[in-house]
Homo-oligomer: A and B are copies of this chain.
Amino acid sequence: MEFQDYFPIWSKLDQTHKANLSSAVFSKKVEKGTVLYNASMDCTSLFLVKSGQLRAYILSEEGREITLYRLFDRDLCLFSASCLMQSIQFEITIEAEKDTELWVIPVRVYQEIKEKSAPLANYTNEIMATRFTEVMWLIEQIMWKSLDKRLASFLIEESAIEGSSVLKITHEGIANHIGSHREVITRMLKYFQNEKMVSLTRGTVEIIDADKLAALC
């Protein structure tokens, strides 16, 4: 499949814009764990996911993490190109959570077209609104939900993404997703285990009562 098959508003672009995009984009494979973008890197590209999974997160000065959102097949990663808009004044990290194939779109080409093309500018608006919605959901979770509910939500979501009730993830990894500490997660998971909702082994969390876990959320 070509780039145009992945880009939802392709048919709304001018011939010139199509040609410019086509000649500029290129395909790239990255391994799980690759950091595609962070504050210390140059703002050069947008990424469109062909297959795989990306994670966007923020880091505290002390190195604590919290996941903002994930990107899946056909999702466009906008904030790796924070220079696209002067009003984007925050820094996130984008990491491949699985082996991932991407279309790389040079930011200068995207920006030049966006300046003139209402369809591309409006598409960019929709992408940003989608991410905004995910971040607002996160604020509501952090502010109003207790940690047991957030942990239960995370396990259910993760299980849906992986298509499995056995999750290969460390307690440290979970803490980094939901912005907590390893010790706190371990304590809560042990409570979940006592309540027969999960079963723990080294490096895995198995969901054994999804209904009970869901009822907690």
Query: Interface size bucket, A side?
Result: 35 or more
What residues of chain B lie closer than 8 Å to A126, measured between beta carbons?
85-87
Tell me the complex Cα distance, A124–B127, Å.
Answer: 13
The yes or no answer to A128 lying at the interface (CB within 8 A) is: yes
> Which positions 97-137 of chain A face chain B at CB distance < 8 Å?
114-118, 121-122, 124-133, 135-137
- How far apart sit A128 and B125, CA to CA, in the bound complex (Å)? 8
Q: How close is A93's CB to chain B, nearest CB, in angstroms? A: 13
Q: Say yes or no: is A88 at the interface (Cβ < 8 Å to chain B).
A: yes
The answer to whether A144 touches B60, judged by C-beta atoms less than 8 angstroms apart, is: yes
Q: Does A173 contact B (CB under 8 A)?
A: no
**Taking the full assembly, how many copies of this chain does it contain?**
2
Contact A115 B125 (CB under 8 A): no
Nearest CB of B to A85, in Å: 4
- Taking CB atoms, residues of chain B closer than 8 Å to A135 are 132, 135-136, 139
Contact of A129 among B60, B88, B115, B139 (CB under 8 A): B88
Task: Indicate if the CB atoms of A133 and B66 lie closer than 8 Å.
Answer: no
- Interface positions, chain A 127-182, Cβ under 8 Å from B, are 127-133, 135-140, 142-144, 179
Tell me which residues across on chain B come within 8 A of A128, comparing CB atoms. 125, 128-129, 132
Q: How far is the CB of A149 from chain B (nearest CB, A)?
A: 13
29 contacts between A and B (CB under 8 A): A58-B136, A62-B144, A66-B139, A66-B143, A85-B126, A86-B126, A87-B126, A87-B130, A87-B133, A89-B133, A90-B133, A114-B118, A114-B122, A115-B118, A115-B122, A116-B118, A117-B118, A121-B121, A121-B125, A124-B125, A125-B125, A125-B128, A131-B132, A132-B135, A135-B135, A135-B136, A135-B139, A138-B139, A143-B179
6 interchain residue pairs of minimum CB distance: A121-B121, A87-B129, A90-B136, A60-B144, A87-B130, A85-B129
